[in-house]
Chains A and B, each alone.
Chain A
Amino acid sequence: MIQDSKYFLYLSELLDKKVIDSQTNKTIGRIKDVLIAPKEIYPEITSLFISVGILGRKFTVAVDDLEPFALPVNKLYLKPDRKPMPFQPSAPNNFLLKDMFLDKQVLDTGGCKVVRVNDLHLLKENNKIWVVHMDIGFRGIARRLGWLSWLDPLVEWIFTSKLPDKFVSWKFVQAIPSSGERKSDKLMLRSAYQCFSEMNPADMAEILTALDRYERVSTFKLMDPQTAAEALVEIDLKMQKELMDLIDGEKRREIVTRMPSDKAADLVSRLSRRRQEEILKQIPQPKSGEIRSLLSHPEQTAGALMTTDYVSLNKDTTAEQAMAKIREISVANKPVYLYYIYVIDNDQTLQGVVNMRRLFAAQPASKLSEIMNTKLVKVKVNTHEAKIIKTYIKYNFVALPVVDNHNILKGVILFKDLADKVMMPLINRV
């Protein structure tokens, strides 16, 4: 009897191996795939999928029914009193591991990358086999091509070290949703929603960019509106437009509502006239009004650069009330920038600005008009981009208020938005 213990093996080492009935000593067939049961983090391989010839009959053999085996796997023997079962393709929990993962693209949520599965790394303990890693390295490819026997010594001779393995733990593996096939969804995607919302939006955006068109849409559809809005802001406008065209109206509305109004305006301006109207009608006021007014400004002016998601309070507001307001905004998690409070008069004209440090240092009862800074630097709605950049360089602010001809506050230009506008062309040129 072969000694059985705890060891690792690869899926590719199992595939195409013969399974033999130990009573008759006849070959039942070859292993073509394995069935997995999604139980805990690491799925367990429950049975082997065996087929006789290319078009022959299909069986499954439970892992429990196999005689213990050791590496290297050559032939597998069925226990004397066990029989293979006919394969039932329609059974609800038949997940075929190879079919679903091998050679396919998946998300590595740990490294936030789209990777291709070259092999699967399995752990065998007593009579159980678990899927523990995916192999995404060149070594996996070499193994499957049957090249390791000469490649390993060669690499070792040249580099004095072995060809390294590149593994990703199974807990970071996320199947990419495709709209065609829904089976993998049941297996993996219960956590997809959660996994996407835990990711950094910039990483999420990078993943979206790396996917093909259909995968991108189906992945995007899986995100909750908040995550979707955050990720959307980070990807390029052409792709944003494509995604927005492909999701349904209700979700589109939710996402645009959650985007900062300047980003939303950039996006909406790229959509067709009819769709613009459709979206703007669905979005509640005052957001839709803000987007509308942002849309009306010519490009490269302050009006087109600014955002309307800022906090402005009347000059008679007390510091305490102002702090309550900020808390309210923060709790509701609104996409509002909290760098400064802009202080306005009863006629909406801009009077001054209070930064957070000043606000928190003030007596609760003191009015904003008493603590505000009145030495304001501001730009007009129609000020050109170049002038704004100069202003920023001169004063080093993080945000710059934008007013109209009557000194009424219209919006705020954030340094990071300006930086995006100015730096992106530079980066693209490098």
Chain B
Amino acid sequence: MAEELNVIGNGAPAKPVEKKSFWATILIFLSLIGPGLITGNFGNDAGGITTYSVCGADFGLGMIWMVLPVTVILLLYQEMSGRLGAVTGKGLSDLIRENFGIRIAFYLMIGKFLAGIANTTAEFGGIAASMELFGVNKYISVPLMAILVWLLTIKANYRKLEKIFFIGIAFFACYIVAGLLSPIDWHEVAKQALTPSFRMDSQYLMLLVALIGTTIAPWMVFYHQSAVVEKGISIAEFRYFRWELPFVGISVGVVIFFIIVTCSPLYSQGIRIETAQQAAMALVPLAGVYAKDLFAIGLLIASLGAAMILPISTAFSVCEIFGWESGVNKKFMEAPQFYGMFTIQIILGAAIILIPGIPLIQVMILSQTINGLLLPFVLVIMLILINKKKLMGEYANGPIVNFVAVAATIAITASVVILIYSSVFGS
């Protein structure tokens, strides 16, 4: 970074930031980009991609208008978790312990740890499914990928990991190409994207709810804040940091959009699918074998990335609560609990997927259910924290953001409650 920055403490009034040259500003911006893009894009993990595929296959373009609101919700929470991290310099679990006491923090962490294992398992499920599309047996692909994920995280520091993730994000362009290969009526897409439609049948509503529920997972909120802190972004830089949000919105929105669009021809063909793997296979007669391959690559990268980020996020949280050393910049022996926690999740996640005959869909539903149980608590806690004047000073939420955030939290909570109810008691 070529320019110095005026950084101020929590609650202190901001010094006016001096005018900087255009290139200096761009440079600062580029140095701050990362946490949001990575969290947002890898938030479209195996579970997300499955949900979007099913959306396209079951309702064609009928749900494409949801891409915009769903992206806005994601950005809303990213902005808040980033602001919390930048102003306090602390991770979310740290803040929970300091402001809500050990009891709430501890039980939340148990939940988060279970969710972490379930989610990691689902990601390895995604890895297995995508590699099977290339004809690789899961007993080969999953252990290999688990070792790859483990080694990368142990060896790399935050900057290197960030680069690896960026390369991963570039691979999401696969979905765009797959979409372009599919026989799509683009006029129809444009029309549907801009006109919200609504159907009162239960299946449509269920999928709508699933779509909202999959947008934001508890680990995303925690990881984003930890990444902002680990990157050392301060509130004075946060101004630039916010510029990342439009890019996050576009990249995440485009991926969701193209997955739904790519799968929409299946609807007119009357093909029903349950998994992303089935979606990819069903695309072969319609869009060619390359569409299938591209789809599989996208799924593989998304699952791999999430299989790395998820355990990191959980390890961060647990270590913060107990006051153990944490951070991907540390060596294994400097932060044994951190890497131990990370390793346990990878091993368990990979091992569960290797159980012969394990139903992948059930694993995915389970992981989304645990996420759903946890999410309302996390979002409410976040809202309370970000409204604390003592903590946030002048950076606490304003009334407009609060209104939108409360509305979104209610919508998400309602969604996950419906989702869990139906998945537990049957639709």
Residues of A within 8 A of B2 (CB): 272
Tell yes or no: B240 within 8 A of A by CB.
no
Contact of B90 among A145, A212, A275 (CB under 8 A): A212
A-B contact pairs, 22 of them (CB 8 A): A103-B102, A104-B98, A105-B323, A116-B97, A138-B322, A141-B106, A141-B322, A144-B103, A178-B10, A179-B8, A179-B9, A179-B10, A179-B11, A180-B390, A181-B390, A212-B89, A215-B89, A217-B9, A218-B9, A245-B7, A271-B4, A272-B3
Q: Are B102's CB and A145's CB within 8 A?
A: yes
Within 8 A of A (CB), among B1-21: 2-12
Residues of A within 8 A of B103 (CB): 144-145
Q: Are A118's CB and B9's CB within 8 A?
A: no
Q: Are A213's CB and B234's CB within 8 A?
A: yes
Residues of B within 8 A of A246 (CB): 7
Name the CB-closest residue of B to A146. Answer: B103
Indicate with 1 or 0, residue by residue over A198-221, a CB within 8 angstroms of chain B CB atoms: 000000000000001111011000
Tell yes or no: A115 within 8 A of B by CB.
yes
Residues of A within 8 A of B (CB): 102-105, 115-116, 118, 136, 138, 141, 144-145, 178-181, 212-215, 217-218, 242, 245-246, 271-272, 274-275, 430
Report Cα–Cα, A9/B420, bound state, in Å.
44
Name the CB-closest residue of B to A177. Answer: B9
Given A212-B90, A275-B4; A178-B323 close (CB under 8 Å)? no
Report Cα–Cα, A272/B229, bound state, in Å.
23
Q: Is the interface of B mostly helix, strand, loop or mixed?
A: loop
Report Cα–Cα, A430/B390, bound state, in Å.
43
B158 → A minimal CB distance (Å): 12
Q: Are B232's CB and A213's CB within 8 A?
A: yes
Q: Are B97's CB and A214's CB within 8 A?
A: no
Residues of B within 8 A of A138 (CB): 322
Given contacts A180-B10, A212-B88, list 16 more A-B pairs with CB under 8 A: A103-B97, A103-B105, A115-B323, A116-B323, A136-B323, A144-B101, A145-B103, A179-B10, A179-B12, A180-B393, A181-B390, A212-B229, A245-B5, A272-B4, A274-B4, A275-B4
B4, B331, B390, B393: residue with the most chain A Cβ atoms closer than 10 Å: B4
Within 8 A of A (CB), among B234-267: 234
B406 → A minimal CB distance (Å): 19
Given A213-B234, A275-B4; A103-B98 close (CB under 8 Å)? yes
Name the CB-closest residue of B to A246. Answer: B7
Number of A-B contacts (CB under 8 A): 71
Within 8 A of A (CB), among B367-408: 390-391, 393
Residues of A within 8 A of B6 (CB): 245
Report Cα–Cα, A2/B232, bound state, in Å.
55
Name the CB-closest residue of A to B86. Answer: A213
Name the CB-closest residue of A to B333. Answer: A430
Interface size class of B (residues with CB under 8 A): 20 to 34
Report Cα–Cα, A181/B98, bound state, in Å.
14
Residues of B within 8 A of A104 (CB): 98
A207 → B minimal CB distance (Å): 13
Q: Are A180's CB and B11's CB within 8 A?
A: yes
| 9 pairs of A and B residues whose beta carbons are closest in the complex | A179-B9, A116-B323, A212-B89, A180-B11, A213-B89, A180-B10, A214-B89, A214-B9, A272-B4
Report Cα–Cα, A212/B2, bound state, in Å.
23
B2, B9, B390: residue with the most chain A Cβ atoms closer than 10 Å: B9
Report Cα–Cα, A181/B88, bound state, in Å.
12
Residues of B within 8 A of A180 (CB): 9-12, 390-391, 393
B170 → A minimal CB distance (Å): 28
B387 → A minimal CB distance (Å): 15
Residues of B within 8 A of A118 (CB): 102
Residues of B within 8 A of A213 (CB): 7, 89, 229, 232, 234
Residues of A within 8 A of B390 (CB): 180-181
Report Cα–Cα, A218/B89, bound state, in Å.
13
Indicate with 1 or 0, residue by residue over B300-338, a CB within 8 angstroms of chain A CB atoms: 000000000000000000000011000000010000000
A136, A138, A215, A246: residue with the most chain B Cβ atoms closer than 10 Å: A246
Name the CB-closest residue of B to A102. Answer: B101
A262 → B minimal CB distance (Å): 22
Name the CB-closest residue of B to A144. Answer: B102
Residues of A within 8 A of B4 (CB): 245, 271-272, 274-275
Name the CB-closest residue of B to A211. Answer: B89
Report Cα–Cα, A242/B98, bound state, in Å.
26
Report Cα–Cα, A98/B229, bound state, in Å.
26
A144 → B minimal CB distance (Å): 5
B358 → A minimal CB distance (Å): 33
A405 → B minimal CB distance (Å): 34
Report Cα–Cα, A204/B391, bound state, in Å.
26
Report Cα–Cα, A214/B322, bound state, in Å.
20
Report Cα–Cα, A118/B322, bound state, in Å.
9
Name the CB-closest residue of A to B331. Answer: A430
Name the CB-closest residue of B to A140. Answer: B102
Report Cα–Cα, A53/B227, bound state, in Å.
38
Report Cα–Cα, A118/B97, bound state, in Å.
10
Report Cα–Cα, A304/B329, bound state, in Å.
28
A210 → B minimal CB distance (Å): 8
Within 8 A of A (CB), among B46-96: 88-90
A133 → B minimal CB distance (Å): 17
Report Cα–Cα, A381/B105, bound state, in Å.
58
A138, A212, A242, A275: residue with the most chain B Cβ atoms closer than 10 Å: A212
Residues of B within 8 A of A212 (CB): 88-90, 229
Report Cα–Cα, A430/B333, bound state, in Å.
10
Report Cα–Cα, A378/B2, bound state, in Å.
37
Residues of B within 8 A of A178 (CB): 9-10
Name the CB-closest residue of A to B12. Answer: A179
Indicate with 1 or 0, residue by residue over B147-178, a CB within 8 angstroms of chain A CB atoms: 00000000000000000000000000000000
